[in-house]
Each structure stands twice: as C-alpha cells, then as structure tokens.
Structure 1
Amino acid sequence: MFRLMLPPSPTVARDIYTVARLNREAKTLLESSFPPIWIEGEISNLSRPASGHIYFSLKDAQAQVRCAFFRQHQRRMGGTLKDGLHVLLRARVSLYEGRGDYQIIVEYLEEAGEGALRRAFDALKERLAREGLFDVALKQALPRLPRRIGVITSPSGAVLHDIVTTLRRRFPAIAVLVYPVPVQGEGAAEKIAAALRRAGERRDCDVLILARGGGSLEDLWPFNEEIVARAIHACPLPVVSGVGHETDFTIADMVADARAPTPTAAAEMLSPDRQEWLAQFARFENRLAALMRARLRSQSQHLDWLGSRLVHPRIRIEHLQLQIGALARRLNLAQLAQRYRARSQWQTVNARLQRHSPLPRLRALTLANRHSRVRLVAGMKHRLERARSRLQQEMQTLHALSPLATLERGYAIVQRPDTGMVVTNVAKVKPGDRVQARLARGYLDCLVEKTREN
C-alpha cells in the first residue's frame, strides 16, 4: 500500500544523486576516513579467477567483510592461501562502485599467530645454516680484557642499566659506548643492522653486546630478521648476543660469535672479576718479592766471592807492564827473523828467475827474424819479376789471338742486333734484315739489300 505524500515545496531545489555518483562519493568518503589499517581474521569463500587476483571473505565470530587481494600486491606473500587460514593483513577500506559493495583492498598479508613466526624462524634458520653463517670456524675470539664495550640496545630499558651496573661492579675500568636502537616493532631490525654496520666501520670498541630483555616470539622478532643476521656475520668486531631469557633462542644468538643467556650474563662474560684479578695480582706480588729476595742473596754471595779474588790495581798494572815488555822483545825478534827469512826467499827466487830469463832467447830470435825478413824481401822481389815477365808474354800471346787485334786490321764482326748472335753464313740472313757490324772502334747499323755466296 502506498501512502499519499504531499510534494515538496517548489521553492526548494532538488539535488538528485545518480547511483554511480552515490557510490563514488561513498567510496571517496570511506577511503579518506580510514588510513591503511591492520586486520586479523579467518579466510573463507576463497576464489582465484583467471585474472590472477584473489577474492575472499575475512571473518571473525561476529562479522565478515569482503576482501580483494590484487596480483601486483602478491609478490611478498609467503605460503599458500586457503579457507580457514588465520591471517593478519594490512589493507585499505574501499567500495566497489559497480555493485556498491563495501570491501577491503589487501596490500600485505601474512599468516597470523606465533605458528607463522615459528615457521618463518625455522625456514630462515635452515637457509642460513646451509650458507654457513652458523659455522664455529667463522666465529671470532672474544678479547680477554676489552678496553671499551659497545652495547646495542634500547636506551630506555632496564637492560642497559643492568649491563652498566654489572660492568661497574666487576671491572669499572672498562668503558661503555651505547648505540641506541629500538628493539621491538616495525623498522627495529633495519636500525639494529645499521648500528652493527656503523660500529664495524668506526672500530671504536673491542667487542659488541647485542642485548634485549625477555618477551614473546613476536617481541623478539627483530633479532630473527635476516638483515640483522647478515649484519652480525659481516661485522668485523666480535659480537655477543644477550637477547631475552635463558630459554629464548634467536637467529642472532646462532650467528653471533658468542651467546649469553641474559644481557647481564653477556656483561659478565666480557668483564673479568675485579676481586679475582686483585687476588691474582697479590699472588704475583708475593712471588715477585720472594724471587727478588732470593736473587739479592745470590748476588750478594757472588759479590763476596769476587771480592776475595780482587787484586790491587797497582800490582795488576805492574804485572801487565812486565808482560808487555816481554811481548815487545818477542815481537822485535820475530820481526827480525821474519825479515831475514823473506830476504833469503827473495834471493832464491831471483836466482831462479835469472836462470829462466827469456832475454837471451829473445835476442837470438830477434836476429834470426831479421835474417829471415831480408831473405823474404829478396825472394818476393825475384818472384814478382818472374811473374811480371811471364804476364807480359801471356798478354802478347793473348793480344795476337784476340779478335780485337783482327778488327784493328780492318775486319768487322757482324751480329744480329736482337739476339747478339754472330753472323757467319749469308744463309742466316735475308734481304731486308738489319745487322750490326762491330769495328775496332764503334758499331755500324746496316740494312741487308742483297746476299750472295762465295
């Protein structure tokens, strides 16, 4: 049944919304009113269309809400989603304009509860163990007496007070340098790793304590992050992990060079007990005093023995003077004897050299050389004269037989100009051929007009 209503006054302007406008403004209002929020709940009605996006409902005991997990945000998701899985997600509140459905846009998703953290802990532990970050051979030795200890912890907690109090009680001479960092919450792991790198670069300390009080696995999670484990492994300074209570184990404990069950135990591990050192110094002092007394007694007895052997310096000098005089006389006699022996040896050697002197032989050889040279010169002159006479005779004979002498008598040598072959028969040429006639002096280039035989 419809109720009859009076129309509004015509003077009032109507602002009529379309459905699309209503949904659009509702979406803008929702997204501007809610910042990105964290929501925890159970997955149900999970669907995976071909687009690659994931749609599901997130519910608790009283209500449920539709969620959209788009493909571009799924890169950092670990594990597989399924119905009934309890998750923790970061999301934006929005509205799907096409249907007017209120929904949650998921930007990050992880499995909720300590079980998920424990699985992530075990997975990282296994991976780092395979890489060798837990090897005992890589761990550095702790200094026996550090001059300065660096403490990486929260400056506002009781942990720092306990460490400083323990060090003052056990060994006040050790200086403490604090690297303040948050030890819980988002971003704590990055800041802890940055403090480790800064301490390694500065080298202001001999050893580092990474400390935090006890808590749940979630509270201690920054010390189970991979970035902290790799920063501890890369730190050039020895690192002692004192995180949580004795029953708490973290990845940082396994990578560190030493693990202490508590922060206070870490301070005790790195600081010697002052009372023990004082007692040890007292024992050393007593031993040193006893050794000094025994040494003094021994040296006193030795001094008495040396005093009994001591001779007056004047007597000692006179005795040495007598020894020097005797040695000087022996030295003079030895020098004279050595001089006589050297002169006798020289005379013997000189006589032997005279007997074997090459001078007489050299004179005889020089004279023989002169005679041989005179004979050689005379023989060479005679030989040259004979050779010259024979050469002239041969030259005369050769000239008489030479064709050049024939040319001097008016004859000529006819040759082919192209081959240089001597023409001795008219059959070798024909009219029109060119020949060359060699005279005694010069050449004639001739053209054969006619040939005839004798």
Structure 2
Amino acid sequence: MSGMPTISVTELVTAFKEIVESTLPPVCVEAEISNCKRSAAGHVYLTLKDENSEIGAVIWRSTAERLKFRPKDGLQVLATGSLQVYVARGTCQFIITKLQPQGVGELELALRQLKEKLELEGLFAPERKRSLPRFPRRIALVTSPTSAAVKDMIQVMTRRWPSVNLIIVPVPVQGDQAAPRIAAGLRAAAKIPDVDVIITGRGGGSLEDLWPFNEEGVARAIAASPIPVVSAVGHEIDVSIADLVADRRALTPSEAGELVVPSADEFRQDLRNTASRIYRVLTGRVERLRLTLQAIESRSIFQRPTTLIDERRQRCDDLGASAERAMRLKVERLNQQLATTAAALDALSPIKVLARGYSLTTKADGILIRSVADVAEGTELETRLPDGMVRSEVIAVATSEP
C-alpha cells in the first residue's frame, strides 16, 4: 500500500518486544499453575491462568534453585515478574523472578511436599530405624563448634560418661550454605574410624533458622549413613525432616547426650543391684543344696554303709541258689527228653526188627530188595540176620499168586 512503510516480521516482533518490555513494569500476578514441567537444564515451564485467560511462563534455573517448594499443577500462587517477548517465535511469556504459594507459607508448603515425598519412599518407616549402641566408643557431633547446643551436649555426655570420646565435625547450622555443609559433614563423620554414633542438630529458632535440617540433601545423607544418627534440632515443639529420618530423635541437644551415652552413676548402681541379686540367688541355692545334703546324709545307707553290702551279698547268694535250682531242673528235663528219644529210636531200630524174626536182604552193591522184580537168576544177595549175614545167589524167581 502506498505511503505505508513495509517492515519484516522480525522488525515487527522486535517493535512489539520493545513496546511490551519497556512500557509494562514488573508486576505480581495472582494465578493458578497448570502444565508445569521441568526441563533437563533445570528451567521450569508452566502456564499461569485464571477463570478467563492464561499465559505461558518460565522460571529460569537460577531462580528455580532458590525455591523452597516445588511448583505443581493446581497450586495457587503469587508470581512476581515481567513480560518478555520471544522474538524467534513471536510469543510473549511471563518471566517469574519470585513465586509464593497462596494460603500457606513458602517454607511450610516446601516442608509438606518434602515430607510427602520422603514418606512415600519409606525414609520415615520405623522398621528401617537402627538401635543405638549401649556403650559407644566414639561419638561424632556434626554441628556448629561455637553453638550453645554443642556445649550442652559435651557437658551432658562428659558428666554422664567421663571416658567418652567426642569428635566435632564443624558445620554451619544456619544460612543458605548450611544444608550442603551439614550433608557433607554427615558423610565425613561416617568415615571416621571407630565412630559408633553420629549426632547432628542445633538449638531452637524460627522455621527459617532451622530450615537447613529440612533440606532434602540433609535428609538423604542421614538415611544413607552406615552409622546410626541421632537428630537433635531445636526444642521439643520443633519437628524437622531430619528428626523424622534419623534413627532416633532427641527433643533437645541436651537430651541427645542423655540418649547416646549411659550414666556412669546409674551403671554403677545397676552393677551393685545386679551383684546383690546374684548374691541372693547364689545364697539361696547354696542353702537349698545344704539342706539337700543334710537330708542325704541322714539316710540309713550313709549311717550304716555295710548294710548295702550285706544286702547285695545276700542277694548274690539268693541268685546263685536260684540259678543252681534252675540248672538242676533243666538237666533233669533234658535227661528225661533224652531217655524218651532213645527209647523211640530203639523201638524203630532195624536190629530190633530183625530180632523179632525178620531179615534184611540187599544186592551185593547194597541196594535193598523190595520186590522179586528187583532180582533175577544169578543175582548175588546179602541177607542180614540178628546174629550175622548170609550171602546167597538167586537160582529161581517166583511171584506169589494174586
């Protein structure tokens, strides 16, 4: 069109960018988050919307890393930032420099979210908690070396168990760099030779002051520790993430000292009580054994020990007589059986049969003649009689008439 300037798309979008970014100052927008996602580079892309409109927004990694809570869909927020035009696409997006949840504080929301996350992972489960050794040889204190809390712990533990060996792993317990330093201190303490227990904590303070012990890095360092960890953060009413993950929670740093080491005075009293109980038990047992021994000594066998020998001698005599009678009866029965058997055998003897007028005829080879069919003319025979034997020869064979 004549008289109207012609510009490129880039020039158009650039002009739009200049107008938007130069005329609209940073604002605070009340909105609901949707389509929230984190890129591999750490940037958070999301949509801010209300009942009628929506706009794309981004939280650059440098800002996202400072957030205490995790942005998620459906969360009502106050987003502070400014509009920015992306020239390559000609799109407008809201660059968020500060993000606050509505209806709940930022730290409180972050605390709730982290609790939910770690609880789902089982880091609070009672079954993963380890018991503390009764007599620890060496204890590591991961805390500020100049705090009142560490002084309280040292005083309590050295008073209760003077020989305790304490090692302080110095870390800051407040500020932006405290959480990673505490996590590193926990890992370092676990590598110290002969350390049996680790205590980490600090005195009381506001939620912001105690926040390093609510950081995920500290919680995971406690959970990963190969040595039992006692958390002593704040006062009795303060419950941190570190308290929930630790193997044992102490309400105060002073109580941590009482939990970890025994009282020498109480231990001595326990020893005295145990010794007294052992003495009473042994004395009672000795008395019972003495009475048992007296009862045994009063028995007649100990009063007249030869009585037992006499009884045994008499018993031997009785047994010998019984054995002799039994053997005599046995011999008599065997003799009777032998006589009966001999008589039966004598009655069946061939000699006896021959004495009654019978004879026994065999061939010369000893084969018994049972029938005239067993011989023929000329067969040599031997006939046994009661008083001798006759040899003969068959001259004729005749069968009896039927």
Compute the TM-score of the two structures, normalised by the length of structure 1: 0.45
**Which of 2, 5, 26 is the equivalent residue of 1:45?**
26
Q: Which moved more, 1:114-123 or 1:125-134?
A: 114-123
Q: In the TM superposition, what is the alpha-carbon distance from 1:325 to its structure 2 partner?
A: 5.5
Residues 28-427 of structure 1 aligned to structure 2 (within 5 Å): 44-45=25-26, 76=65, 78=67, 82-83=79-80, 116-143=106-133, 146-172=136-162, 174-198=164-188, 204-309=194-299, 310-311=302-303, 316-317=308-309, 319-324=311-316, 326-327=318-319
- Matched residues in 1 for 2:140 and 2:333: separation? 87
Give the 3-state SS of the residue equivalent to 2:244 in structure 1: helix
Counterpart of 1:305, as a letter, is A
Q: In the TM superposition, what is the alpha-carbon distance from 1:343 to its structure 2 partner?
A: 12
Residues 26 and 81 in structure 2, CA contact (< 8 A), matched pair in contact too: no
Residues 142 and 189 in structure 2, CA contact (< 8 A), matched pair in contact too: no
Cα 1:210–1:84, aligned 2, differ >3 Å: closer, same or farther? same
Q: In the TM superposition, what is the alpha-carbon distance from 1:123 to its structure 2 partner?
A: 3.0
- Matched residues in 1 for 2:132 and 2:162: separation? 19
Cα 1:319–1:160, aligned 2, differ >3 Å: closer, same or farther? same
Cα 1:329–1:237, aligned 2, differ >3 Å: closer, same or farther? farther
- Matched residues in 1 for 2:79 and 2:229: separation? 42
| Residue segments in structure 2 that go unaligned for 5+ positions in a row | 1-23, 29-42, 44-57, 72-76, 83-95, 338-402
Size of the aligned set, in residue pairs, is 265
Give the 3-state SS of the residue equivalent to 2:298 in structure 1: helix
Residues 203 and 237 in structure 1, CA contact (< 8 A), matched pair in contact too: no
Q: In the TM superposition, what is the alpha-carbon distance from 1:306 to its structure 2 partner?
A: 1.6
**What corresponds to 1:417 in structure 2?**
none
Residues 134 and 260 in structure 2, CA contact (< 8 A), matched pair in contact too: yes
Compute the TM-score of the two structures, normalised by the length of structure 2: 0.50
**What corresponds to 2:376 in structure 1?**
none
Cα 1:212–1:308, aligned 2, differ >3 Å: closer, same or farther? same
Counterpart of 1:45, as a letter, is P
Q: In the TM superposition, what is the alpha-carbon distance from 1:206 to its structure 2 partner?
A: 4.1
Q: In the TM superposition, what is the alpha-carbon distance from 1:242 to its structure 2 partner?
A: 0.4
Cα 1:77–1:300, aligned 2, differ >3 Å: closer, same or farther? closer
Give the 3-state SS of the residue equivalent to 1:220 in structure 2: helix
- Matched residues in 2 for 1:292 and 1:70: separation? 77
Normalized per residue, the structure richer in helix is 1
Give the 3-state SS of the residue equivalent to 2:204 in structure 1: coil
**What corresponds to 2:91 in structure 1?**
none
Q: Which moved more, 1:172-181 or 1:220-229?
A: 172-181
Query: Deviation digits for residues 339-396 of structure 1, max 9, x if unmatched?
Result: 9999999xxxxxxxxxxxxxxxxxxxxxxxxxxxxxxxxxxxxxxxxxxxxxxxxxxx
Counterpart of 1:264, as a letter, is S
Residues 77 and 109 in structure 1, CA contact (< 8 A), matched pair in contact too: no
**What corresponds to 1:353 in structure 2?**
none
Query: Deviation digits for residues 389-408 of structure 1, max 9, x if unmatched?
Result: xxxxxxxxxxxxxxxxxxxx
Cα 1:277–1:119, aligned 2, differ >3 Å: closer, same or farther? same
Q: In the TM superposition, what is the alpha-carbon distance from 1:240 to its structure 2 partner?
A: 1.9
- Matched residues in 2 for 1:337 and 1:206: separation? 87
Give the 3-state SS of the residue equivalent to 1:219 in structure 2: helix
Q: CA-atom RMSD, angstroms?
A: 4.7
Give the 3-state SS of the residue equivalent to 2:209 in structure 1: coil
- Matched residues in 1 for 2:230 and 2:199: separation? 5
Higher relative contact order (CA 8 A, sep 6+): 2
- Matched residues in 1 for 2:117 and 2:152: separation? 34
- Matched residues in 2 for 1:171 and 1:132: separation? 35
Cα 1:140–1:320, aligned 2, differ >3 Å: closer, same or farther? same
- Matched residues in 2 for 1:328 and 1:235: separation? 83
| Residue segments in structure 1 that go unaligned for 5+ positions in a row | 1-42, 48-52, 54-68, 86-107, 346-454
- Pair member with larger Rg: 1
Q: In the TM superposition, what is the alpha-carbon distance from 1:263 to its structure 2 partner?
A: 0.7
- Matched residues in 1 for 2:125 and 2:320: separation? 80
Counterpart of 2:201, as a letter, is A
- Matched residues in 1 for 2:283 and 2:255: separation? 43
Cα 1:316–1:257, aligned 2, differ >3 Å: closer, same or farther? same
- Matched residues in 1 for 2:320 and 2:141: separation? 82
- Matched residues in 1 for 2:189 and 2:336: separation? 89
- Matched residues in 2 for 1:245 and 1:151: separation? 18
Q: Percent identical across equivalent pairs?
A: 40
Give the 3-state SS of the residue equivalent to 1:242 in structure 2: strand
Residues 224 and 250 in structure 1, CA contact (< 8 A), matched pair in contact too: yes
